[in-house]
Amino acid sequence: MAINFYDYVSSYDFVPFAELQSNDDFKVISSKQSSLISTAIKEVYKKKSEVTIEFKPETIKKEKTILKFKLKQAHQYASDPDGYLRYKLTAVNGQVFVSNYNKKEIEHDLGVKRYDGIVEIVFSKNLMQSVKYIDFYYKDNTDAWLDLKGELPDSWEHCGRVTIGAASTCYCNRGFTEEEMTNILTQLRKSDDVHYEIQFDKSGNTLYIDKEGKVISSTDTGRRPPEAVDKYRVQKNAFDKEGINIFDFKMEEKIQSKDANINTLTDELNKAFEKYQINTCIRKIHFLAQSYEESQRFHKTYESNPISTLSGGEHYRGRGLLQLTHDYNYEKFYIDLFKKIPTEKELDNFASRVSKELHLAVFGSAFYWKNIGSLKGNISQFADKDDVLTVSKEINGYKKNNALPNGYEERVRYTNELKKIFKYEKCINKK
Ligand SMILES: [Zn+2]
């Protein structure tokens, strides 16, 4: 009787991720199991296990969480289910950790325990945010694997990967999508300039509304103003009036129309935030709140009535999202960009570009935020403490007699509103 080769080897399955023991800390996004891998037939069955898991935002705030895999037989000659098996962990920063047989642990802060075919991986808070993936390898023969350290030799067979990700509901360490920025602006405008407007008919007569909410015609004199009838008021806000049009105010200098859109704004903010480390929710919230106030709801990037004490003269009035002001500040930004000291004419021309080119309007503001400030600089340090008053002073200036910065009430309100829009209470870095 002929022995079927494949029947024979199939009794030595290697299925590293036979069971991923899911719990509330993470969710399995996708899972593909290797059905059969054995060295003898690896060319035929070269399927690899692939599992993608995502840690939930609440989990990432925990000190640690445990991920468990139950292994089937790792190799036909192995006495342990996880015999001849190695794990290699790759972090976002490129750091690699490899399991060591003797210690039965990967040498880093992520502890790995193995017992009865269970691989238990402990993720610290730090690691949950930095791990990219865990690779699983197995070795066919018994040579040179007991004292394995460092990089895995090529002869090890890659048989599966677990990709780890943090559920991205907060804005730390990532850019905004255009959709998210649209939502942020929409919500901000809806929360702003809220009031009730009395409604009138075509002839300008006041309209009334009855108990049931029905509008009463102004010609219906018999029914007004009785009790239970009120003036017809409608709630209006900045969104009703302005939509999400941006940088559209008619000014002497304004953003070029090709850049006056959410797509370009999102793109420039993302790049500037990365470059100047405005990289957590709270920093972004404060930066956007101040920008929103300074640019009159992202409508203008040019100051209409400059102060009389401008260094360098009136030309060096406020420009950009945060109103970069004074010749010496424009010069610092110029040097940061071009790595040279500008001539007077070059600086003159450059200043005008900060209100017209969105790239400069955004980067000039982020540069000011990180490197200048009105007194202490690096405004992120005050954002980190959620200190709106000092952030506002660093943007608007420290006034005599400790008076509040201009528009302080709005700065506070926009900051609070952005916290709601960002769902800041769920931020992975919220203290
Ligand atoms: Zn966050």
Q: Which two tokens stand for residue 41?
A: 């037939």
In a domain, 188, yes or no: no
How far apart are the CA of 181 and the centre of ligand 1, in A?
15
User: CA-to-CA distance for 262 and 181, rounded, in angstroms?
Assistant: 7
Residues 6 or more apart whose CB falls under 8 angstroms from that of 166 comprise 54, 55, 57, 60, 128, 129, 428
Q: Are 157 and 29 part of one and the same domain?
A: yes
Phi-psi region of 381 (alpha: psi -120 to 50; beta: other; left: phi over 0): alpha
User: CA-to-CA distance for 234 and 199, rounded, in angstroms?
Assistant: 7
How far apart are the CA of 134 and the centre of ligand 1, in A?
25
Stated pTM of the model:
0.66
How far apart are the CA of 173 and the centre of ligand 1, in A?
8
Q: Are 314 and 350 part of one and the same domain?
A: yes
Q: Are 294 and 335 part of one and the same domain?
A: yes
How far apart are the CA of 429 and the centre of ligand 1, in A?
5
Q: What is the greatest pairwise CA distance in the chain? A: 106
Q: What is the pLDDT along the chain (431 residues), one digit of tens a residue?
A: 343 333 333 334 444 444 565 567 777 777 666 554 444 444 434 556 677 777 776 777 777 777 776 665 455 455 555 555 666 777 666 666 666 544 444 444 445 555 566 667 777 776 666 667 777 776 655 444 444 455 555 666 677 787 777 666 689 888 888 989 999 999 999 999 999 999 998 888 888 888 888 888 776 656 556 666 888 999 999 999 999 999 999 999 999 999 999 999 999 999 999 999 999 999 999 999 999 999 999 999 999 888 888 999 999 999 999 999 999 999 999 999 999 999 999 999 999 999 999 999 999 999 999 999 999 999 999 999 999 999 999 999 999 999 999 999 999 999 999 999 999 988 888 87
If one counts the domains in the chain, the total is 3
The CATH number for 416's domain is 1.10.530.10
Q: Are 100 and 228 part of one and the same domain?
A: no
Q: Are 199 and 104 part of one and the same domain?
A: no
Q: Are 222 and 318 part of one and the same domain?
A: no
Q: Are 27 and 156 part of one and the same domain?
A: yes
In a domain, 274, yes or no: yes
Q: Are 214 and 347 part of one and the same domain?
A: no
How far apart are the CA of 168 and the centre of ligand 1, in A?
9
In a domain, 171, yes or no: no
Q: Are 220 and 267 part of one and the same domain?
A: no
How far apart are the CA of 176 and the centre of ligand 1, in A?
12
Range of the domain at 347: 257-426
